[in-house]
A and B are shown apart, each in its own frame.
Chain A
């Protein structure tokens, strides 16, 4: 059973509907007992780092996530869920969970491409360049684009944790991967067929479980 962590951070329903569409059973919960029983965990999120971390630590879900990471079971971070698995976020000057070393940074104020000042948030469809293959990105065309909406981006200190990058006046890490964890800055649940394929791949992935 797939579990979606419920922590009051916006659009969990859209992740749920995408799983429904691919015929995947799931639970939405913040109960660590139910989460323990899950085979896969999705950690979504829309909103601000400060409030999200406050809620997670109140529910002790930050501690739980660290424990879950060690089980080797597949874990998928999405958007804010990706940003706050690093050590620290510049958004609201927030200490974060620290599953991956590094921090979440704000896009620089002066961001431009071909003489055009770029808008912040980075909102809309953009591509991802993978540095290596990964089961969660199986059968995804290099031409595929994904839906992004964010003003902060993950910057892991360990380069080996960077699975994919995206161009937006700069190159930033748009997909993180480490052991049984994959985390995307974009929203697979809102990225049409390629996004649904990523969710399907994730649900079929075993992570580090033998």
Chain B
């Protein structure tokens, strides 16, 4: 049977991790390639990189990071942030990433999903969704609204509608981030995750709110998520990925235990 995936997320700015990641003996790692290697060794099933480089002239640095990561780890990884068109996607994929994720760009111009899927296959195109809970209304019947530009701009788009629409447009997977839960370490937004996951046929990665292994267990069962994204809880070495996987396996949640 298919295993649930545990996916650490690394934020990269101008080729460096935005927060040093603490590993053995409190060594600070600022190099995304080294961090990826460490998580690969710990049993990560996949890795997500977000390039939060503000200026476009430094984007080439990320391409070099992607190339070095691809030479170092032999599991799938995706790259998001700053991808505006098929040419941007191609550069990242040719450098060695399996998947690219689009977020704000897909809201501004949904055809980027279709074009990406046509050029590289649906399995390469992940739709990143940043979602905020709002009052349910005629416009936002699910009570969850899509926000873009790092959570600053409300779009008036219903999250459930957008997830279904993106699936039709050719997205192969959804990475669903709750802005409300993000950074709180108090657990994933389970209602939101189940709502989206139950209403699309493509896999859903839950994101935002993970603070302890119990949170992953909840979102992978009650939330019906296919995968769980984690950040702080492993970056600050509160837990290792192998500890989290051991916990989940003890709870009869199947994860890959041999790597």
Contact = CB atoms under 8 A, between A and B. Distances in A.
A122 B257 CA distance: 19
Contacts of B124: 10, 46
A20 B4 CA distance: 29
A50 interface: no
Contacts of A195: 74
A13 interface: yes
Contact of B121 (A10, A124, A126, A143): A10
A168 B2 contact: yes
Interface in B110-169: 120-124
Contacts of A48: 121
Interface residues on A, range: 35 or more
Interface stretch (A29-37, A65-73, A144-152): A144-152
B71 A21 contact: yes
Contacts, number: 98
B40 interface: yes
A174 to B, nearest CB: 12
Nearest to B224: A116
Interface in A64-85: none
A121 B3 contact: no
Given A149-B123, A192-B75, A119 B201 contact: yes
Q: How large is the interface on B (under 10, 10 to 19, 20 to 34, 35 or more residues)?
A: 20 to 34
A17 B11 CA distance: 24
A125 B71 CA distance: 21
A192 B40 CA distance: 8
A118 B202 CA distance: 9
Contact of B74 (A122, A150, A192): A192
Contact of A122 (B2, B5, B96): B2
A119 B203 CA distance: 6
Given A17-B96, A113-B1, A190 B121 contact: no
B2 A193 contact: no
Contacts of B5: 124-125
Given A17-B70, A196-B74, A119 B1 contact: no
Contacts of B4: 124
B20 to A, nearest CB: 26
B258 interface: yes
Interface in A11-61: 11, 13-14, 17-18, 20-21, 46-48
A190 B74 contact: yes
Contacts of B122: 121
Nearest to B77: A190
A58 B75 CA distance: 33
Contacts of A194: 258-259
A195 B74 CA distance: 8
A205 to B, nearest CB: 20
B184 interface: no
B182 interface: no
Interface in A134-185: 141, 143-145, 147-150, 167-168
Contacts of B98: 11, 14, 190
A189 B70 CA distance: 11
B94 interface: yes
Interface string B237-259: 00000000000000000001111
B45 A191 contact: no
B210 interface: no
A130 B175 CA distance: 33
B189 interface: no
A123 interface: yes
Given A13-B70, A18-B74, A143-B258, A46 B3 contact: no
A21 B93 CA distance: 19
28 contacts: A13-B70, A17-B74, A17-B96, A18-B74, A20-B71, A46-B123, A47-B121, A118-B2, A121-B122, A121-B202, A121-B203, A122-B2, A123-B203, A124-B2, A124-B4, A124-B203, A124-B226, A124-B227, A125-B256, A126-B1, A126-B3, A127-B1, A147-B75, A149-B76, A167-B1, A191-B74, A192-B74, A193-B259
Interface of A: 10-11, 13-14, 17-18, 20-21, 46-48, 113, 116-127, 141, 143-145, 147-150, 167-168, 189-196
Given A124-B4, A124-B227, A196-B74, 7 more contacts: A14-B96, A117-B201, A123-B123, A125-B45, A189-B74, A193-B74, A194-B258
